[in-house]
Chain A
């Protein structure tokens, strides 16, 4: 994408800016739609109507909320560590925003075609942890501190099973580039990694059960990484009021929310790239059959967004169905079950791929 804009404008700075603005706009859109959907989905699940006053079907509810956030007075508590307090939301937001740089939305719509895209995404999203700890510590509030400690412990623990499953995919595909991983699962849905990838013969069928297990593990651990129910312990509303961002208000609070929804889409995107073919269509392209080349990237973007939002809907469905785990149960789930199973899965996939 950078190359395209560079050719168009002939100016490196302008091209960089345009490319950088795209993920930012995307995060905002994701958050706007995400918050609206969360409200509507929860309303449908709970036998309610949901927002229906602001615009048609309440569509502008989030916009109205956003405007309210912008206008709000930035009230801060006494005795906060103001430097850390002000940096924290920026850092958290940067972490989730920067991850979008490497996510391929379609074959033409990629911020950066970095060879180490997957590694970069996992690394940069760890910035969030620092921000959360800063927010909890600097707020000078015991609830914030407890929330931050829980959150950090949770995110760091659950990064391990995520990384192991990612490793098994990398082992199979032999690349860290998100674009290349997507391209290996091109054509039809039976080439998706969850169905054994583009392998042939017995290997493919041997791989399927372990890929499904891998998908389940990574889906559970990404749920925990973005602090969604049943793992929303850091924000556990009924225990810790609002967790690490209890003391924040206005736009700073909104940045935490933006980053939460940004993260939700980012992890959904990663899961769909690793297991569900990324931006590739499961049923072939209309552009190919019609012979219209330029249609293909748009179709790819459609499929990518569809897959991402599907996972977000599943996350919402879980959130409004399940109670939340306790902090020690959460840790034991990770260390006693997910990590050992993930390791076994990694070894078995390794052995199968050698066959």
Chain B
């Protein structure tokens, strides 16, 4: 009788330490070698889009916090921009500046988690805690202004929920000065660590054409060497006034588009965010943070698509208005969801341990994937 061999199916998640939430991966493995990865989604589905249809426009804002809960300000930002475009209103200068500073602070905080958990998945627990310590500074700054540490509900349609705290400017500057040497420390501790490079360089290489075909965005796309950032390529708010660079993956430690490149792009992006904050922080004009918009927001009939550069990539809101106080449809183009699709391509032929490294380098947030 002929012996039949079959591949082992390993079910990773939804309860697993490194699937970043409740992602379930079905791995078909041959020993340790991965043949096929099938992500199963939906464990965190909360019907955001359906809920939004039953809400008034301004009531949707707190729900957007819960999409990418590590970058809630960015989500608020995108939604507010989309509705403002639908309404055809301009927001005051002061609001624009505060929004940009907040969004960039949030970007740093979000990248800190991304980098830290990528390292922690590979076994480096100490950098993870160092980065959470640094993130704490950002959370305190934002908390002083809007009272929340994670789900801020801060950027409202036509303005902000609160004006900034009197200490905001001073503390943000202090943070910038504190954080610059920390990036150097992080580079020395993790980025150029021999073992970390061994684990991430030449692993999970995402070629340029695959990245484009799958619609990747954010650091996942830029890691493959494509200079595409909505802040400069489709500038929204006042991003066109600032001088910053778009870091891209160069294959310093291996091939362009490997895990290390995606990781490194995030670190360099934090430096650029600091640059933007430093340019903006001294020029916040005086004024009101609530522009005159009616209590009941009733946009004219029509559709709008507005996209912003969230820490994880292109976040788009597609809103259909039927002229009533409730949106007819709110569709979210979630960057994590789109970036996750490429996982199956990336993991083929690597080991089980690499799946973790690759997943960490794509950096997904399940709140956004399942919505």
Q: Which A residues fall within an 8 A CB radius of B?
A: 42, 45-48, 142-143, 146, 229-230, 232-233, 236-239, 241, 320-329
B133 touching A326 by the CB < 8 A rule?
Answer: no
Most chain A C-beta atoms within 10 Å of own C-beta, residue among B121, B122, B353: B353
Please give, as numbers and ranges, the residues of chain A lying within 8 Å of B356 by CB-CB distance. 238-239
Report if B193 contacts A (CB, 8 A): yes
B119 touching A323 by the CB < 8 A rule?
Answer: yes
Between A and B, how many residue pairs show CB distances below 8 Å? 77
A47 touching B133 by the CB < 8 A rule?
Answer: yes
Option from B18, B124, B190, B353 in Cβ contact (under 8 Å) with A327 = B353
Please give, as numbers and ranges, the residues of chain A lying within 8 Å of B32 by CB-CB distance. 146, 327-328
By beta carbon, the residue of chain B nearest A237 is B17
Report if B238 contacts A (CB, 8 A): no
By beta carbon, the residue of chain B nearest A329 is B198
Please give, as numbers and ranges, the residues of chain A lying within 8 Å of B130 by CB-CB distance. 46-47
Option from B133, B190, B353 in Cβ contact (under 8 Å) with A236 = B353
Q: How far is the CA of A20 from the CA of B351 in the complex (A)?
A: 45
Please give, as numbers and ranges, the residues of chain A lying within 8 Å of B198 by CB-CB distance. 325-326, 329
B112 to chain A, nearest CB (A): 14
Q: How far is the CA of A238 from the CA of B356 in the complex (A)?
A: 8
A324 touching B195 by the CB < 8 A rule?
Answer: yes
The number of chain B residues touching the other chain, given as a range, is: 20 to 34
Q: Which B residues fall within an 8 A CB radius of A?
A: 8, 10-11, 16-18, 32, 119-126, 129-130, 133, 189-190, 193, 195-196, 198-199, 351-354, 356
A12 to chain B, nearest CB (A): 50
B325 to chain A, nearest CB (A): 47
By beta carbon, the residue of chain A nearest B130 is A47
Q: How far is the CA of A325 from the CA of B193 in the complex (A)?
A: 12
Q: How far is the CA of A322 from the CA of B119 in the complex (A)?
A: 10
Please give, as numbers and ranges, the residues of chain B lying within 8 Å of A237 by CB-CB distance. 17
A241 touching B16 in the complex, CB below 8 Å, given contacts A324-B195, A326-B199:
yes
Please give, as numbers and ranges, the residues of chain B lying within 8 Å of A324 by CB-CB distance. 122-123, 195, 199
Query: What 17 additional pairs, Cβ within 8 angstroms, besides A46-B129, A142-B10, A239-B121?
Result: A45-B126, A142-B11, A146-B32, A230-B123, A236-B123, A238-B18, A238-B122, A238-B123, A239-B353, A241-B17, A320-B125, A321-B126, A321-B189, A323-B199, A324-B123, A325-B198, A326-B198
